Amino acid sequence: MTLDTRIFVLDKVDPQETFKFFRSLLGATDKHSFTDEQDKTYSKGEWSVSPDNPWTISNDPGQGLPGWLMLYYRPDAPLRTAEQAAEHDEDCNLPENSIYVEEWGPCDGTHHRRPCWLTVSIDTAYGYRDDRGFGCGDLHAEYVAKLGQWLDARGVRWEWENEFTGEVHTGYSRLIDLASGGFEASAWFRTSVLPVIEAEVRKGGLS
């Protein structure tokens, strides 16, 4: 089992530059391979590329990195506009007598995919533990915070999703929910992230 944490970048930013920065957080070097290609669609027994398909930049798995990094984007366009995110897809169009409709009612859009310029996904095994004592949640909290600071410096808005709860947050304060303790106890957190959280508290910007 793995923890998949997603960061939704809301404003325009260069996908390749963002991927390169996140690769540096993982400790990736030129020897660690990756792909950057348009997604394929499976239909009628074969795979093909449609002009409407998004693109994915992805580290190749099995290279000893602490997480599998994937970034989803469209060249010079949002990955998903607000109008596109509001549309129902095949997962929403369940039969009226479906057990899911009976339990939860018709889709109200709450669980639709987020509108964003691009999405970053980092996937790490639950059993991960590094030499600092960081587990997968601590590691992801650190990654979200460092990418968030990189985006903040460029005036780019962002959100992140806690896979444990399914909740989407802005800012740094709720990263504690993701971490198991190592991240919160680290000197880097106390000197680089905690002051930002305290500033959010003072201005009432917690989420």
The structural domains of the chain, with segments of one domain joined by +, span 2-40+47-85+112-203
pLDDT by residue (tens digit) across 140-164? 999 999 999 999 999 999 999 999 8
pLDDT by residue (tens digit) across 92-136? 555 454 544 445 555 555 555 789 999 999 999 999 999 999 999
What tokens were used for 94? 């369940």
pLDDT of 111 reads 56
For residue 180, pLDDT over 90 is answered with: no
With pLDDT > 70 as the criterion, what percentage of the chain qualifies?
84
Closest CA to 55 of 29, 35, 69: 35
CA atoms of 75 and 54, how far apart (whole Å): 8
Q: For residue 7, what is the DSSP state? A: E
For residue 90, pLDDT over 80 is answered with: no
pLDDT by residue (tens digit) across 18-64? 999 999 999 999 999 999 999 998 777 788 788 889 999 999 999 99
CA atoms of 20 and 180, how far apart (whole Å): 27
CA atoms of 72 and 48, how far apart (whole Å): 18
pLDDT of 48 reads 78
